[in-house]
Structure 1
């Protein structure tokens, strides 16, 4: 009589693979942790024998930001000496204001380097009536300019009452920063402004949300005044699936079951250190039976997005989010591991114990 197809009798590959290797070529699939990884953060620890069902990869955009003080500190890279980085989800809905710590600029080149939104001319200068116009005109002191874009080797394009003018490089000038009272989301700043930009979040909840991440980023959190230097966009690639710790009983009920949704950033040190075995399934029914006994089979993407929405750390973290999922059709049977053959599978040990 054949043994029932359970986690104790399933056949696993002899070779181990990284999560990255599996994610690049074998999704969806279930893997078994071969070499556990233990962290001070329990949520980032995996034990030998844990099962992870890897469903799909997903990319998230985040904004790299540096925590800075309100008082300018001159350094080689500019007027502000930045502290360490944090990452802010591009979809974060909190409102912010764009700030410019430097209040006066004496050249157009200096104005381009810091690129505030609005300035007022502090002395007369020469402009051209449009980007492609050769007609010059005098811009008087006290004129409000909205900075728009830079044309290399030509100058700075600004708007005066909605009309474009070009400020040629190399002339004497003075500009005073004018406060921008408009409230933005971080996505609006990224879409509308040249980086870097200095911003201050208005929500009182912002620091509460990112307290642990700010503590990591700033040596002395008590001196953080809420100002951030937005540097640029980064992409974070994650693998999304489910996690079943070793030793947890298989599911016997046909009703909804609860399992932790696993979000595994591929650039996380914890994920990079995990080695896993790939399964060898002889029959389609074996695969479906194994999934039905061990995992939820659908995915609430709102829960996934919500977990990463509040992730501000510069060091990506593993997330295990408890959720209840209804049974659904299992994903297609994954391909066999690299180099697998039926003959090799028949010689594999079929009754492995993976209790720690």
Structure 2
């Protein structure tokens, strides 16, 4: 079965084609990726310091059809060879989601094909199954994508239990806000991580919010506020040289990253111990952060568990993860398939509420 996947939840337009034969035959799941196209809107949104929903929606409209043509050309397929269409139904920006839903539903109806709405976070947490070292079920998923920071127990495809989540700012939001405080461009994650590599360890004693709480929830607004306080303190002091300013920013970035990573690693290890799982999946945009990956790998050596990552190119939003998640859902239970033309979206959507029965 060849599944077309369409992702338009925020600021990336992704289209991909996935063949379930690789998964069903027990081969490396990534072999099923037949073709894909991806366009990032980062350059467009950078001058505004963040995503502008209206601009995002309009750009999805411009990009989705050329990306479909690109994916079909890579796969050497025609529209007539597609068996089903999967699309991101939520969560995300309403206008952006509507573009993907309308395109997917219209295409499916025109070709008389079934379609399936996919939860954006399900796409992320299943994407490590496409890596060379795929996890075994059950596993713990640390999802750090955009406005989401969650720990999920994944029993099997379509069976998810929320163990903990952020109570305010998500990790990705904390990265972006801290980057803005340090004068870095949007998006902040990669910029902060790169700057932190030049920083001195331990110069600033920043908080590690909820590190010792008994639950598995997160909170990063206080960490961002602590960075703001350090910036204000610096600005109120004596005039410093550009070199001193640059080092201050690097040291503060390093302390920020170290504090945030310490919380994510500690909570993940606690989730593994509480559930008895031996496999941890890191997924989402922040999953590409090298400091976080290094810290998890080090903890895994000492803790006796394995960490699994999606391929780096699949950490950000993409069509492959939606095609793949949709395909696995179809194989597990065909009840979610639809031939309705309704452009239904779910900008706010609890992943656990979408479990298969």
Q: Larger Cα Rg: Structure 1 or Structure 2?
A: 1
Q: TM-score range by the shorter chain?
A: under 0.3
Flag the structure with higher helix content.
Answer: 2
Give the TM-score of the pair, scaled to structure 1: 0.20
Give the TM-score of the pair, scaled to structure 2: 0.20
